[in-house]
Amino acid sequence: MKVFKIILHSFILAVINIIAVLFGFGVYHFFMEYNQLAVQIPVSAVFSIIVFTTWIVILKYKNISKLFPEGWLEFLLILLFSLAWLPLIFLPLHYITRGYITAFGNIYLNWIFQIPTSIVIVLIAYFIISSGSKK
């Protein structure tokens, strides 16, 4: 069950981060007079944090404790596996939507976004799961 939890949460985290980057890019199109990264990165980070935190809060308050990550090691593995999921999800997605395989630089830049954002997310999730009150 531990392996399933790590795979599930890391996959969800990776998908949320990819969707967040796309959402941030969409928001940037409304503010094109500003620098793309100045708009896209904060919007994407906040979106990722809110959506994954909502996922964890739903698990906690619906009392689905079988899916709770347990201990720092599982949270660390969720973080690391989410990094591994990124190219496995992003490469086929990019190929299907654009018709060519993306450059490694795009994966690298996504990791640069994903690492600090996911660290914050995992810390928040750890705090939520390990806090004593359930409601």
**What percentage of the chain reaches a pLDDT higher than 70?**
96
Ramachandran category for residue 41: left, alpha or beta (phi over 0 → left; psi -120 to 50 → alpha): alpha
What distances in angstroms separate CA 73 from CA 8, 76, 77, 94, 121, one per listed residue?
15, 5, 6, 32, 15
pLDDT, one tens digit per residue, over 73-132 is 999 999 999 999 999 998 888 888 888 888 888 899 899 999 999 999 999 999 988 886
Q: Which of 109, 107, 84, 81 is nearest to 95 (CA)?
A: 107
Quick check: 47 pLDDT over 80? yes
What is residue 102's predicted lDDT score, i.e. its pLDDT? 85
pTM: 0.87
CB 9 within 8 A of CB 78: yes
What is residue 132's predicted lDDT score, i.e. its pLDDT? 62
Quick check: 55 pLDDT over 90? yes
> What distance in Å separates the CA atoms of residue 61 and residue 53, rounded to the nearest whole number?
12
